[in-house]
Amino acid sequence: MNVWSVLKNIGLVISLFKSISSLISDVAETKSAPKQNLVSGFLKSLEQLLDSGAIDIPGVDEKAVSDALKQIESQLVGQ
């Protein structure tokens, strides 16, 4: 991950941190599992960031991780 790719995708980075903040706030307020829409929003934000190429972890196929997250999200929404 280089600085330029992060800056180029700063909107996605901010979106991810906002979704994490919303998730944590909801759990702290309700003292229970987070709402489905917040988890789904978090997964979407993370998928978008992985798909953008801003995150590059050596030895990890980010596309495969993103695809797995999409499957988890579809199962979550399907319930």
Token pair 């199962």 in the structure block, residue:
75
pTM to 2 decimal places: 0.85
Q: How far apart are CA 71 and CA 34, in angstroms?
A: 19
Q: How many structural domains is the chain composed of?
A: 1
Closest CA to 20 of 44, 42, 51: 42
Look up the domain containing 61 and give its range: 3-78
Predicted confidence (pLDDT) per residue in 40-56, tens digit: 999 999 999 999 988 88
Predicted confidence (pLDDT) per residue in 18-37, tens digit: 999 999 999 999 999 999 99
